[in-house]
């Protein structure tokens, strides 16, 4: 077997079904040799063990657990994990995926490699319309990059000031642009308003499209990846506003939509096998 030329980094925190879906998509859609490194940020033991068992069917997937006593949460946990993961990349190209974001087009890696040039060193997902984060540079829901450049500019992936949209990976845009490079975007279309894509029936999902490729390129389930409940806080249903009842209802709807999201992903992939 040829040596991998791509390292894919993913952080796991109880979003096990999403990551197993990503591994399935990668297996069937990736052209070049690759490896996946998953860092677990102290998930529930049952979820860690489920992932540990699930990865056995895939080659070149490596899982490890954060140091004992790891107690960071949210963006700080994510950014800290990415700092650790990026150090482990030893291939020409690298990718960072959120657990619930996945590429969905055959030979996605070959397509993105062909887009890299002397100026463009990173390609990835755009901020969702209406999001306060910059929309002119790839966000870290899913990014593909030239490893040597990423390591040279020395990104600290930890958040700084969330009130200023300085979330995990906020240095990416500033440092790439300052170094004279630029990024290329996968354009985001959110299902709250965009109803012509394969995920239209689901709420608050970002679909991503690349110029010259009419079919969907990637998809991000979005906020509340573990239970899906965060998507429905502003729901119009009266029941979503009742104390003690609203959260279980939102979680139930979220879990249902997660299963549907995975199912749609699989159908898109299976048509290309």
- Mean pLDDT of all residues belonging to the chain: 89
pLDDT at 241 over 70: no
User: What's the pLDDT at 75?
Assistant: 85
For residue 152, pLDDT beyond 80? yes
Contact 209, 104 (CB under 8 A): no
Please determine, for residue 206, whether its predicted confidence score (pLDDT) is greater than 80: yes
Asked if residue 41 belongs to a domain, the reply is yes
Top mean pLDDT of 56-70, 87-101, 147-161 is at: 87-101
Nearest Cα to Cα of residue 95 among 229, 186, 203, 226: 186
What's the pLDDT band for 154 if we cut at 50, 70, 90?
very high
**Contact between residue 113 and residue 93 where contact means Cβ atoms under 8 Å apart:** yes
pLDDT at 184: 97
Q: What is the pLDDT of residue 2?
A: 83
Is residue 207 within 8 Å of 230, Cβ to Cβ? no
Average pLDDT estimate for 99-116: 97
Total count of domains within the chain: 1
- How many Cα atoms occupy the beta-carbon half-sphere of 129 within 13 Å? 13
Task: Show the beta-strand stretches assigned E in 156-231.
Answer: 182-190, 206-210, 213-220
Q: Examine residue 1 and state whether it is found in any structural domain, yes or no.
A: no
Residue 32 placed within a domain: yes
* Residue 236 clears pLDDT 80, i.e. is over it: no
Cα(208)–Cα(111) distance, integer angstroms = 14
pLDDT digits 0-9 by tens, 18-46: 999 999 999 999 999 999 999 999 899 99
Strand order in the sheet with 120-125: 61-65, 34-40, 6-12, 93-97, 139-146, 120-125, 182-190, 206-210, 213-220, 101-103
CA distances from 231 to 162, 174, 192 (A): 19, 30, 11
Q: Could you tell me the pTM of the whole model?
A: 0.91
Residues 6+ apart with CB under 8 A from 100: 15, 18, 220, 221, 222, 225, 261
Write down the pLDDT at residue 130. 79
DSSP, res 163: G
In a domain, 38, yes or no: yes
pLDDT at 228: 53
| Position 234 pLDDT exceeds 80 | no
H-helix or E-strand spanning residue 12: strand 6-12
Inform me whether the pLDDT recorded for 229 exceeds 60: no
Question: Lowest-pLDDT range, 12-21, 160-169, 258-267?
Answer: 160-169
**Strand pairing of 182-190 and 120-125?**
parallel
pLDDT bracket for residue 137 (50, 70, 90): very high
- Residue predicted with more confidence, 227 or 131: 131
Which residue has tokens 């069937």? Answer: 28
* Tens-digit pLDDT profile for residues 186-195: 999 999 999 9
Which of 90, 73, 104, 119 lies closest to 8 in space, CA to CA? 90
Residue 64 domain-assigned (yes or no) = yes
According to DSSP, the β-strands at 6-12 and 93-97 are parallel
- pLDDT value of position 157: 94
CA distances from 137 to 141, 177, 186 (A): 12, 9, 10
pLDDT of residue 255: 83
What range defines the domain where residue 27 resides?
6-270
Please report, for the domain that includes residue 216, its CATH number. Answer: 3.90.550
């Amino acid at each position: 077997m040829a040596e991998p030329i791509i390292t894919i980094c993913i952080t796991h925190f109880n979003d096990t079904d999403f990551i197993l879906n990503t591994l399935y998509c990668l297996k069937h859609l990736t052209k070049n040799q690759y490896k996946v490194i998953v860092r677990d940020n102290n998930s529930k033991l049952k979820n860690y063990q489920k992932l540990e068992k699930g990865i056995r069917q895939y080659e070149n997937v490596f899982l490890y657990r954060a140091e004992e006593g790891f107690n960071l949460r949210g963006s700080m946990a994510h950014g800290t994990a990415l700092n650790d993961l990026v150090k482990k990349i030893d291939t020409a190209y690298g990718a960072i995926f959120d657990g619930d974001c996945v590429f969905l087009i055959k030979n996605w890696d070959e397509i993105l490699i062909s887009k890299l040039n002397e100026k463009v060193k990173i390609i990835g997902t755009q901020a969702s319309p209406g999001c306060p984060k910059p929309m002119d540079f790839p966000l870290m829901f899913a990014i593909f990059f030239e490893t040597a450049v990423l390591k040279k500019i020395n990104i600290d992936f930890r958040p700084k000031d969330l009130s200023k949209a300085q979330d995990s990976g906020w240095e990416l845009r500033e440092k790439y642009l300052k170094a004279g490079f630029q990024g290329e975007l996968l354009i985001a279309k959110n299902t709250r308003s965009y109803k012509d894509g394969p995920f239209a029936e689901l709420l608050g999902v970002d679909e991503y499209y690349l110029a010259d490729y009419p079919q969907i390129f990637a998809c991000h389930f979005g906020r509340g990846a573990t239970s899906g409940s965060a998507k429905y806080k502003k729901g119009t249903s009266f029941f979503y506003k009742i104390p003690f009842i609203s959260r279980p209802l939102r979680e139930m709807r979220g879990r249902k939509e997660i299963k549907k999201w995975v199912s749609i992903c699989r159908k898109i992939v299976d048509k290309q096998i």
